[in-house]
């Protein structure tokens, strides 16, 4: 199997070199390059040196080429968040995974998580703070949380969804955020969806109703540490079940938003139709040597 290393120079400078290393030239270039390489050789493997955004472009390029079952990808994390690998790299190095993807419209893919509302707005703000000298990725996210906290609280979401068991779910209420999780982490340090499994054919919806800022402060620590929703509680911590809804879903439609965040990249969007593509991509954990069959 031919291997190509893709380097995002703004995230991974000095981490890769050689004849089979491609240095991206800007937003969208990784996706274009991966698509074209897959069209020439559908069995190519990509080592992606960068962050979640670069990995998202590589995955999207593979899907654009229709090579999800043949090409493969490994993330070599050196971005600001590196959220995807916090879930995938709990497996042994070299393990091949048939990883699910989230689809949020024509050509819009997410390997890790889609955030809408508070989380998404925080990412948008954090991207501005990261441009300030001396502000790290994690600290920029915390600054974004603080700034969003003192903005208008709550937006009117309308959601219809098909749950894992085939039943219907409907919701229309002022809300703070909605996370659609394939992976377990977001924002670099928020372990918000610890029950997520990237290979189970479903994604987790975490929906937070509008609440007082005081209650939100009490909740956000648990949301960050991974104790708001966990196996111990069989879902949501009983103290927060009046405000937090947790469901495993196959597909959903959400409206009332103004933007969505897919793997850290913010896109304008007032209505999103979101679904799951089970086992859509071949992901190799921590290295591509002797690529195994996916499980």
Residue 118 CB neighbour total at 10 angstroms: 23
CA distance 197 to 179: 15
Q: Cα 147 from chain centroid?
A: 22
| Torsion, CA 115, CA 255, CA 129, CA 229, rounded to 10 | -30
Specify whether 92 is located in the same domain as 152: no
Q: Dump pLDDT digits (tens) for 2-28.
A: 999 999 987 655 454 555 799 999 999
Specify whether 228 is located in the same domain as 83: no
What is the pLDDT at residue 93?
A: 93
CA distance 21 to 23: 7
CA distance 127 to 216: 23
Specify whether 121 is located in the same domain as 89: no
Question: Do the domain assignments include residue 293?
Answer: no
Q: Dump pLDDT digits (tens) for 215-238.
A: 999 998 999 999 999 998 889 999
pLDDT-based confidence at 294, cuts 50/70/90? Answer: low
Question: Do the domain assignments include residue 108?
Answer: no
Specify whether 93 is located in the same domain as 123: no
Residue 187 is part of which domain span? Answer: 113-278
Question: Do the domain assignments include residue 291?
Answer: no
- How many structural domains comprise the chain? 2
Specify whether 156 is located in the same domain as 216: yes
Specify whether 199 is located in the same domain as 77: no
pTM: 0.90
CATH number at 88 reads: 3.40.50.10330
Specify whether 95 is located in the same domain as 135: no
Question: Do the domain assignments include residue 295?
Answer: no
């Amino acid at each position: 199997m031919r291997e190509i290393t893709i380097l995002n120079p703004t995230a991974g400078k000095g981490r890769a070199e050689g004849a089979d290393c491609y240095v991206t030239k800007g937003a969208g270039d990784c996706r274009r390059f991966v698509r074209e390489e897959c069209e020439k050789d559908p069995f190519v493997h990509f080592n992606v040196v960068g962050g979640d955004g670069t990995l998202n472009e590589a995955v999207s390029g593979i899907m654009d080429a229709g090579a999800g079952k043949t090409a493969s990808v490994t993330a070599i994390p050196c971005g600001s968040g590196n959220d995807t690998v916090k879930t995938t790299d709990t497996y042994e190095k070299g393990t091949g995974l048939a990883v699910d993807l989230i689809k949020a419209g024509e050509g819009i893919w997410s390997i890790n998580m889609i955030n809408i509302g508070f989380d998404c707005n925080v990412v948008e703000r954090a991207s501005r703070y990261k441009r300030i000298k001396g502000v790290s990725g994690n600290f920029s996210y915390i600054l974004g949380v603080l700034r969003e906290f003192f903005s208008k609280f709550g937006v009117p979401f309308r959601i219809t969804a098909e749950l894992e068991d085939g039943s219907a779910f409907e919701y229309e209420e002022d809300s703070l955020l909605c996370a659609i999780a394939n992976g377990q982490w977001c924002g670099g340090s928020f372990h918000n969806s610890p029950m997520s499994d990237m290979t189970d054919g479903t994604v987790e919806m975490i929906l937070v109703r509008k609440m007082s800022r005081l209650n939100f402060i009490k909740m956000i620590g648990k949301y960050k540490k991974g104790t708001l929703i966990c196996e111990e509680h069989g879902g949501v911590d009983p103290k927060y079940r009046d405000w937090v809804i947790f469901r495993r879903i196959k597909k959903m439609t959400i409206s009332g938003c103004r933007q969505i965040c897919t793997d850290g990249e913010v896109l304008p969007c007032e209505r999103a139709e979101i679904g799951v593509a089970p086992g859509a991509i071949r992901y190799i954990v921590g290295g591509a040597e002797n690529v195994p069959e996916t499980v």
